[in-house]
């Protein structure tokens, strides 16, 4: 997407199957698993499927490490209300760090969680 500052994102994982299950269950979408040489990747839907910037889960222990301390990626709650996605986090193996919080009237809401792999990620929605 020409006007989107995020061109691509990669989220490190320790167990690809577990991570795919977590993200598919929480975000209610389907990831596409691909072997890219020595990288095991699972791609999120992206522009071609009507979503924004693309990205993937990546298993490659030599070059990727899960983290709660690095960059914070905000994933869009496809339901339009991140409370729906948050309700699935703990059953999918994650932990909520910050519950649904209003950013502002114009920017909507956010929440922060730890995924099944130990990564800190955020969710965003307008409602």
Fold held by 8-125: 2,3-Dihydroxybiphenyl 1,2-Dioxygenase; domain 1 (3.10.180)
Question: Domain coordinates of the chain in residue numbers?
Answer: 8-125
Q: What is the pLDDT of residues 51-107, one digit of tens each?
A: 567 899 999 999 999 999 988 999 999 899 999 999 999 999 999 999 999 999 999
1 pLDDT band, cuts 50/70/90, is very low
Radius of gyration of the chain (CA): 14
Q: What is the DSSP letter of 124?
A: E
Q: What is the pLDDT of residues 111-127, one digit of tens each?
A: 999 999 999 999 999 99
Q: What is the DSSP letter of 30?
A: -
- What pTM, to 2 d.p., does this model score? 0.86
pLDDT (mean) for 7-31: 95
What is the structure's pLDDT at 45? 87
Distance of CA 29 to the CA centre of its chain: 11
What is the structure's pLDDT at 20? 98
Mean pLDDT over each residue of the chain, to the nearest integer? 91
């Amino acid at each position: 997407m020409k006007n989107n500052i995020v061109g691509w994102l990669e989220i490190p994982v320790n167990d690809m199957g577990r991570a795919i299950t977590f993200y598919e269950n929480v975000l209610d979408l389907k990831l596409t698993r691909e072997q890219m040489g020595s990288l095991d990747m699972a791609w999120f839907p992206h522009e071609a499927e009507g979503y924004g910037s693309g990205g993937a889960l990546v298993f490659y222990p030599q070059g990727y490490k899960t983290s709660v301390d690095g960059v914070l990626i905000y994933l869009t709650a496809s339901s339009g209300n991140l409370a729906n996605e948050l309700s699935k986090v703990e059953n999918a193996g994650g932990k909520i760090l910050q519950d649904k919080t209003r950013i502002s009237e114009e920017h909507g809401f956010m929440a922060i969680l730890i995924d099944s792999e130990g990564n800190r990620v955020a969710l965003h929605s307008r409602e």
